[in-house]
Structure 1
């Protein structure tokens, strides 16, 4: 710039870290080193064009830089600039822009709000799971409300604590529908609890989106008002068996499972896949939901000397068994469902007890999607949780799915329109999960999983994506 006709030029790629972050941001992070003051930069160049900044005001500079940012991050940069009041929205005192007049178009829908309902365990045996899921979906609904809601309506979420008790769930479901007038039920937690109220919701025509459970009943047989998101336990059981036989190659396999629909569906699929390969488990040890007798469980497993134990149970009994096994020096390989793959396991069992445990988890979304960055940022800001776990992730992703359906339905929101909007989703993702599609004939959601491994009290990714190998895929190379 000191030479005649000289200019300050910065050339850079629009993204870094494999496309996961934007190199153009509304503001540098606190403590970042500044090497070139903004007023000395005349021109910035990326693969998306050239931004001429000299002589322009802050708003003009922002718009010029947004035009050369990666398309996936442009809306985020503008939102951040406005949120941080670097470039505030135009506000005229006593003036509000005209909006289309909204009406109460369906139960739970007013001109200003959309009331959604859910139930979860906040004070019972699976409260750690319930709290994690609640944080996930509450964070996203709060984010949507911060930016004006959906078509001018704020989302109002009514949460009932059922303590993972189906009788309490039945009362909660009736209250949500008949007292709170919920438009839809979103992310309801648990297999036995959801099964207890499924017929009631079907009889009332209430949309139910993403039950926080993986039994196949939510999508098979097809029920028009039910939309699954999580992979089914049937698919997971098959995947776990295929992985165990191909990768771990154990000589003696034992199963430890809870006696409910979750445990039954997963272990039945696991055993069927073993049988298809000529393998039978040496032992199947089960326990009632809510039971805690790790000494008896451990004795039953040890008697058969397995070198691999499948855990198809909830977090608390899994942690109790792992602690008992550690104390007894019983160290088989452990393999578990995604139900136990959250950070809450490490709150109940020491790192030494969980070391080496493998469990499925939800696969990551596209690397170039900003949804993952936003998820971590919101969870860290709202809950001080920079590394949210499996249950927070699926709760947040489910909320993204609900909001997408509401947005696509439009201002004239009805339950039938909402169902049709969800059925029209094709290869959609909010960034946390791989793309999913629904149709009038398919409400399954995800059909793939990742595999995690416990090490030092945290989860590490062992396999980023596992897809089910169908019999014909193996027979026809």
Structure 2
């Protein structure tokens, strides 16, 4: 039996084959449950496989496929192999909308899975609700996927509000910075991060000293740069993707801004690190919703990271393990567990009920996913990482970090 994971560049579909060389057959066309046949379960995804956010889409997808291919190699779920039809949207909301309509209207997709991006995913919520089709494991912390509660959307990661709250906790409460600026992408993703930062700052009696934005898909950040650098902040929260954020940090540093640069997880830490020189004066930080797979303590934090590294090396040996891929892998494990719990007589309703039964699905170490019928966010964890020698490393001891970097602005000298 051949498994097929479908990729597409806009209107063209090409197939990544996981089994023998026989022709792929369509599944679920005549089944009572869309996307389910006696031998296969078909999932659908729209994500950036080309363009300025392609690293995020590609690594999310390969992380997920690393687990799904392993599951298929072991016989699938209740005798059914899993097929993932993934269509490129280039991180464009209009293309994502068209892709999602195509996936749903085909009648061949059981569940949506692994969408990437806030403006793209938020755009398709009306289609999801109309079709009553589940969406599991989107790579976004968008508040619109969480509030108001949506019975068809199952978020696994922490939200952007939680990430920005963590940013302010570190920058203001721990590092004692008072002048915080926000650099953000001018769309739903950036607005979420901006609002989350403003709300968190308001809780400690502060407001951003400056705000600056850029247009999604571009790197014209000069106007935002001048506005923010002119305010001389102690710290900047960056809500964007890797290329414009790297441009901002490099140019701000060149202009003499000695500040902490705090990025949200969607930035793509590995690609951000690759674009930055080693001599940035201020600290460069990234919040993560999964621990870095290379962290020495990752087994205690999320033990499945070892499985991710092993399966990635098996199926994508040229790829380097990373946090984006680990999140995709984690999402696939949760989805498959839902399919297993739903049993052989699979329906969308039984699948969603099965996901909601996960009161504590262990991920190894301290981590576990929990859903309820009224709470569809599985994890709440946020991790801090800091750029050191070209790599973002987990901050295991924030007090030690602050002492080493002398980032805490105290009246008395910091004692070692």
Normalised by the shorter chain, which TM-score bucket? 0.7 to 0.9
Alignment-derived partner of residue 281 in structure 1: 208
| Counterpart in the other structure of 1:416 | 349
Q: Is 1:267 the equivalent of 2:200?
A: no
Of stretches 395-404 and 335-344 in structure 1, the one that deviates more from structure 2 is: 335-344
- Residue pairs, 1:178-197, within 5 angstroms: 178-179=105-106, 181-197=108-124
| Distance (Å, rounded) in 1 between the aligned partners of 2:38 and 2:136 | 23
**1:257 aligned counterpart, secondary structure:** strand
Q: Which has the bigger relative contact order, CA under 8 A and spacing at least 6? A: 2
Distance 2:319 2:114 in 1: 22
TM-score normalised by L of structure 1? 0.72
User: Once the 2 structures are TM-superposed, how far is the Cα of residue 341 of structure 1 from its aligned partner?
Assistant: 4.7
Match of 2:362 in 1: 429
Deviation at 1:355, TM superposition (A): 6.9
1:352 is paired with a residue whose SS is coil
Range with greater deviation from structure 2 (430-439 or 213-222)? 430-439
Q: Give the match for residue 36 of structure 2.
A: 109
Instruction: Provide closer, same or farther for how the CA distance between residues 228 and 464 of structure 1 changes in structure 2, counting only shifts above 3 A.
Output: farther
After superposition, the CA RMSD in angstroms is 2.2
Is 1:120 equivalent to 2:120 in the alignment? no
- Whether the 8 Å contact between 1:452 and 1:460 is mirrored in structure 2 is yes
> Given that residues 334 and 358 in structure 1 are in contact (C-alpha distance below 8 angstroms), is that contact kept between their aligned partners in structure 2?
yes
After superposition, give the CA deviation of every residue in 1:44-73 in whole Å (9 maximum; x if it has no partner): xxxxxxxxxxxxxxxxxxxxxxxxxxxxxx
Question: How far off is 1:266 after superposition?
Answer: 2.1
**2:322 aligned residue:** 389
Q: Is the 8 A contact 2:290 2:327 kept in 1?
A: no
Quote the Cα distance in structure 2 between the aligned partners of 1:304 and 1:370.
43
Pick from 88, 94, 99 the counterpart of residue 172 of structure 1.
99
Relative to structure 1, the CA distance from residue 433 to residue 363 in structure 2 (aligned partners, 3 Å threshold; closer, same or farther) is farther
1:307-386 correspondence runs (5 A): 307-353=234-280, 356-364=283-291, 367=300, 371-384=304-317
Distance in 2, matches of 1:253 and 1:438, equals 35
Distance in 1 between the 2:88 and 2:346 partners?
28
Give CA deviations for 1:259-292 in whole Å, capped at 9, x if unaligned: 2222222221222222222222211112222232
Query: Could you say what secondary structure the match of 1:110 adopts?
Result: coil
Q: 2:391 aligns with which of 441, 458, 462?
A: 458
Aligned counterparts of 2:267 and 2:301: Cα–Cα separation in 1: 28
Please give the alpha-carbon distance, in whole angstroms, between the structure 1 residues aligned to 2:365 and 2:144.
24
2:340 maps to which residue?
407
Aligned mates of 1:212, 1:327 — CA distance in 2: 32
1: CA distance, partners of 2:319 / 2:58: 16
1:176-213 CA-to-partner distances (Å, cap 9, x unmatched) read: 11226110000111111111111011100111001111
Give secondary structure in 1 for the equivalent of 2:44.
Answer: strand
Contact 1:341–1:361, Cα closer than 8 Å, also in 2? no
1:420-475 Cα offsets, whole Å, 9 max, x none, are 0000001113338821211111112211211000111101111489xxxxxxxxxx
Q: Contact 2:229–2:252 at 8 Å: present in 1 too?
A: no
Gaps of 5+ in 2: 1-29, 292-297, 399-416
Alignment length (residue pairs):
363
